[in-house]
Structure 1
Amino acid sequence: MPETSPYRGRFAPSPTGPLHAGSLLAAFGSWLLARQAGGTWLVRVEDLDPPREVPGAAEAQLAALAAFGLHSDEPVLRQSERGAHYQAALDRLLADGLAFVCHCSRSDLATSGGIHRHCVARAPRPDPAVRLRVPDGSVIAFDDGLAGRIEQDVAREVGDFVLKRADGFWAYQLAVVVDDAEQGITDVVRGADLLDSTPRQILLQQALGLPTPGYLHLPLVLDEHGDKLSKSSAAMPVDASDPVPALRRAWQALGQDPAALPAVADVDSLLRAAAENFLPERLPAQPSVPLQRTT
């Protein structure tokens, strides 16, 4: 039988705000799955979108992760420093005819609901985007670790998607695929809001001849109004000065037995107990969980 690669997972926050309960759940869940597999856990800063980034947020997120005892096993990678790698991948796709320069604007694509199947630009743009050419019938199916079998007709539901934006910034889909491959990521564990992006990433992996990791999408944490925390007024920073209560709430939101964690006051003891008692089969299969507050 072929040898399997050692488990390599990652947590990849965008520096658009502080670490909140939802991002802590994703970080803790991915860390637990990596530790349960005896593998490596990495942190990657996805700082690709300067207009949306909050100054100092990346450093604040890393400091918060450290306060929660969640340290990257290797040096932290920053996407803002990796433009040459993304350009090399884009050049390959363009040379192979798998990507193309596109002058279409959002208004040009309004009648098709934003889905690009052929160029309909009314005029050339000085700053065109670059898109992946998605052939008709590009149906991608994969088995998610929690959601089960997922299938998407990328051509019909998404269309030719952007790899480099018209404003010159790299698109998330290209960057994440290149970085997962170069870091040897075997298992992607992240929030369920990115489940819909996975077929695009698999299609792009296939176009670049890159391996496809396993995927597991954890439930999102929603506020009392049913809104995702990153878009919610409830997305207050987790209290890094008192990390144990927040870790306990994340543990319960991940479907784990509260009684499995001893009544300890320090982070290191809690994380050791969590790694020893974590049961992946208890992870909730539903796409979201309510925000857990202290009483």
Structure 2
Amino acid sequence: MCSAGAIGQAIAECFAVAGAQLVLVYNRTQPAAKEHFTGLGAADVLAVQCNVAELPSCQELVRQALEVFGTVDILVNNAGANGLEPMHVQSPDSFIHDLAVNLHGPYYLMRLLMPGMRAQRSGCVLNITSRAGVLPNVPFSTSYHASKAALINLTGCVQAEADVDGLEDVHLYALHPGGVRSEMTLKKYKNAATTLPDHPAAAAQLTQRVDAYNDSPYLNGMTCVALATGLARRVLRGRYFDVGQDLEDTLKPAAADAITRGADRGLYTLHTRYLGTVPDGSGAVLDEPFAFPGF
């Protein structure tokens, strides 16, 4: 897990309290000292510098982790990059960089570690995504929204492959970590007026939005630990979950049954609803029949 920022450090601390062995990943800013995490209860700690946007760097990270610990049972992908510019202004290099951090990095690490998880028939992947991945038509953060939506679908697709092979103890989740005042978020909104000089009203709204970012990063950290135990794997595996929801309420029998049996279509997934009778892959109608005028 990337452990230098507010969200990453909180996740690492929560897993430390749970007694996990930690591989702390950082790129430029080093994480807190090993003694900080062992003092919280971590069984052991390894810090590795890695640029998750680059495959060779991810390969070296995995090599070191396996050399020290033998196996990796839990993968947390929480590195993030978020450009704030109109798509027609943002440089292609900047756009691709955001995709590389938010999507390619998680893919690289999942690709490197999934064979081991499948071989041992157990493992958990926690992909930290965002509400940005499920909110359509939001301007000025195209690279971030597009990459987070792709990561949510990547999570679901890899889970479906594990399910096809009967790997019940291989479970993946895409999580919105809440509104956390991370360094990335503060930098993005603080500079909105400079980044969006031609859109002062939108920039002002973005600057004010940070006031609503009051969630503790430990809410996400504790949710990650809970999901890693497998307590929700039969209900939320492969799905998108917002940590602002009460996990206990979501797992109550009536709610869990609605999710797993499909009583309410599209819960905790990305989906599109159509006007009319367009069928999905199972032949079920996605919306009420509609008679188009003039036909």
Q: TM-score, normalised by structure 2?
A: 0.32
From the two aligned structures, give the one with the greater helix fraction: 2
Larger relative contact order, structure 1 or 2 (CA cutoff 8 Å, min sep 6): 1
